[in-house]
Amino acid sequence: MRAQASNLSVASGDMSRVRGDTKAQLVDAYMEKRAELRRFLLAHFKDAHKADDVLQEIYLKIQRTKLTAPIDNRVAFLFRIANNLALDHRRRIERSLKRDHKWHEESGHFLGSEPVYDGPDADARIDAKAKISKIIQLVRQLPPQCAKVFVAHKLEGLSHAEVAERLEISRSTVEKHMGKALRYLAKHLDE
């Protein structure tokens, strides 16, 4: 049920007492009805972990809520919070599933209704990681300015002109550094 602000006949100076008392009473009602709230959430989710998570969210919501009026029916208020949080949780899951399904439709391959992984196999991934490690090691061996140019152009995606502007060097110097870096990497990558 909703808080009845029209029933509030407390002077504004006493409002903090009403808020504190109402919050304390709401926490007391939560502690008293915690087992019933958990059963309600278990019936909703059919999963004890989710029910416990939402039960904890109820407590946090009570602590964060700024109450401005007394609550006529604290138990109904708690069950309304539980239901709203459960619905929010379900909507989040549905949105996530829709997003995942859309992504799979756009980027995945299916064999019947089962998704088929079309990425590289484990050996290819291991080889790629080893190659990346080798490239990182080789880039660290380049002269500092040459390494900065290579990283800015190849990893950050800057054009030669943008690299030249950032490092305050000429474009031809960027091109020379890139040539030097690429020759060095090509020579030592297969070692």
- DSSP string computed for 46-72: S-HHHHHHHHHHHHHHHHH----S--S
Asked whether residue 103 carries a pLDDT value surpassing 90, the answer given is: no
Between CA 177 and CA 131, with CA 167 as vertex, the angle to 5 degrees is 50
Which helix H or strand E contains 35, and what residues bound it?
Answer: helix 15-45
Q: What 8-state DSSP symbol labels residue 132?
A: H
What percentage of the chain reaches a pLDDT higher than 90? 51
Asked whether residue 105 carries a pLDDT value surpassing 90, the answer given is: no
The full DSSP string for 64-130 is H----S--S-HHHHHHHHHHHHHHHHHHHHHHHHHHHHHHHHHH-EEETTEEE--S--HHHHHHHHH
Nearest to 16 by CA among 58, 66, 62: 66
50 exposed, middle or buried (CB, 10 Å; 0-12, 13-18, 19+)?
A: middle
Domains, the chain: 5-109 (1.10.1740), 122-189 (1.10.10.10)
Asked whether residue 87 carries a pLDDT value surpassing 90, the answer given is: yes
Distance CA 102, CA 97 (A): 8
Q: What's residue 111's pLDDT?
A: 66
User: Are 13 and 3 spatial neighbours (Cβ–Cβ below 8 Å)?
Assistant: no
Asked whether residue 184 carries a pLDDT value surpassing 90, the answer given is: yes
Is the alpha carbon torsion for 87, 92, 97, 98 positive or negative?
positive
Q: What's residue 67's pLDDT?
A: 80
Q: What's residue 101's pLDDT?
A: 77
What does the pLDDT look like over 62-83, one tens digit per residue? 988 888 888 889 999 999 999 9
37 exposed, middle or buried (CB, 10 Å; 0-12, 13-18, 19+)?
A: buried
What tokens were used for 148? Answer: 């900065």
